[in-house]
Structure 1
Amino acid sequence: MDEIQTYTRGQLALRNGQDKPQIWIAFKGLIYDVTESRLWRGGKHYEHWAGQDLTEELKDAPHSEKVFEKFKVIGKLL
């Protein structure tokens, strides 16, 4: 089994749907690829922006962390 790749906050920030085509978000130290999600088109989901750690913001979300189960983990946030 391959080890999961690690990324810095700076590398995550570039995957915001604007600077690079990938749309990534982090939650609890893991980075998820949400590029194919229609809810993240353009790198924005309601008041949340891609390319950042959303762990603290989930407290105010109308859903639980189970929402991340449908997305592929592509790395760990350093």
Structure 2
Amino acid sequence: MPLKPIVREALLAAYQTPDHTLRRTSEGFRGAAGRTFTRRAINWLEESNLANFDQRDFPSTITLNPRGIAQAQQLIAPCAQAGAA
């Protein structure tokens, strides 16, 4: 499934956290370090059925579901294979 670049970045940012979760801050959603993502980008992630909000109306976290984890692994796999070659 083709993902918008910002959704791909949010997916990979969530995947890189220990619990595969982005947390709401005053600036938007972010992982342990790095970029902050707007609610719109996070909505695309949820609408693509790759992650789930902890609460629908006013979420404080979004966590990758098994489909999102698998998608992130597929995105990372070509990079890992290229590095091993």
What's the TM-score bracket when you normalise by the shorter of the two chains? under 0.3
Computing the radius of gyration from Cα coordinates, the structure with the larger value is 2
Higher helix share: 2
Higher strand share: 1
The two structures have a TM-score, normalised by structure 2, of 0.26
The two structures have a TM-score, normalised by structure 1, of 0.27
Give the number of the structure with larger relative contact order, counting CA–CA contacts within 8 Å between residues 6 or more apart. Answer: 1
